[in-house]
Amino acid sequence: MSSPQQYLPGTFYEVTRRCVERAHKLTPNYASAGKQTRAAASGPGEPRPSSVEQLYQYATARYAEAYGVAVIAVCVMSNHIHEILLDRRGEISKFLQKRNAMFANMVKVRYRLAESIFSRRSEKYNRLEGAEAIAQKIAYVIANPVAAGLVASPEEWPGMVSSVEDLLGKSVVVRRPLEYLAQDDATNPPEVTFRLAAPAEAIALFGDLSEMTKQTAAHLERNVKQGRRRHSGRFVGPLRVLATSPRTRATTFEPFGERTPRHTTAGDLAVAKRLIAEMRAFRRAHRIALEAVKAGKRRVTFPAGTGKMHFTYGYPREVHALSPAA
């Protein structure tokens, strides 16, 4: 059994979700590359298929507000997603479960894919602690297409990628996609508003919004320069990215079994030690509660931030009290 994950309100996360076997199932705007097959393309007079960007934005906006999640930065690559999120209510696991299911089903219909979209391997969320860690990871997300050798700048990426300017606030009204969703079902509204912005909780860590954008832009500039040096100025280019079939997969070398960090503190060892101690205390309390359940006790309360035993099986959990410093 995997170690339990703690989801505390007011926590920032770097979240990565990968496609099955590194397949390019999230390739952006595939039809616009001119290589879509006749069987999958829309016929004369039929509505144009939705872009992957529209599918992501609709699914994310559909559930973000319901579960108290704020999107700070995002990059939808051809075979994985990078996001920086703020979990205001400790319900990020429920948000990702619902959002990823809707997004995956829409992508399957969009590209007529029979198999699963996302890998079933359990993905861990990287907790971000402190302004420096948040700025570094936002820059990492935005610069990802450059680091991967696909385009020379984030602005050239033909798919969904945010920018430093989006931290100032960006809202997009997204129409309900035709793919997968019933058009006469009131459950999913005809329009939703997808929002990108630096939340007040993040701005407070930097002092003000201008300082946040300044630090993030500095990290982004370094990351882009490093990516250009690494690839010697040779990039795949947006046209070849658009021509990538969702039925192909990445062939470049990738280390097997690479571990995902549980938290990032940008080198602050004192904070790292505190987070490790808190994680161990949570796991210890969770193990004691779980053993009580296995022993047949009915009235068992799990520690604050418990996910599966609370959301799936309905056991109560302690209320997390934010410290005055938070």
Higher pLDDT, 304 or 31: 304
Q: What domains are defined for the chain? A: 11-250+259-266 (3.30.70.1290), 272-311 (no CATH)
Q: How confident is the model at residue 325 (pLDDT cuts 50, 70, 90)?
A: very low
pLDDT of residue 262: 86
Cα separation, 41 vs 123, in Å, equals 33
pLDDT of residue 125: 86
Cα separation, 69 vs 156, in Å, equals 28
In DSSP terms, 249 is beta-bridged to: 23
3-state helix, strand, coil in the chain (%, to 5): 40, 15, 45
**Residue 182: pLDDT above 50?**
yes
User: What φ, ψ does residue 118 adopt, rounded to 5°?
Assistant: -100, 150
**Residue 323: pLDDT above 70?**
no
pLDDT tens digit sequence for 68-99: 999 999 999 999 999 999 999 999 999 999 99
**Residue 322: pLDDT above 70?**
no
Top-confidence range, 29-38, 193-202, 256-265 = 193-202
pLDDT of residue 48: 73
**Residue 55: pLDDT above 80?**
yes
**Residue 257: pLDDT above 70?**
no
**Residue 187: pLDDT above 80?**
yes
pLDDT of residue 260: 73
Cα separation, 311 vs 317, in Å, equals 10
Q: How does the average pLDDT of the chain come out, rounded?
A: 90
pLDDT tens digit sequence for 223-242: 999 999 999 989 999 999 99
Return the SS3 of 319: coil
* Exposed / middle / buried, residue 20 (Cβ in 10 Å: 0-12, 13-18, 19+): middle
Q: What is the mean pLDDT of residues 266-272?
A: 93
Dihedral of alpha carbons 141, 147, 150, 154, sign: positive
**Residue 268: pLDDT above 80?**
yes
Q: What is the mean pLDDT of residues 172-180?
A: 95
pTM reported for the whole predicted model: 0.91
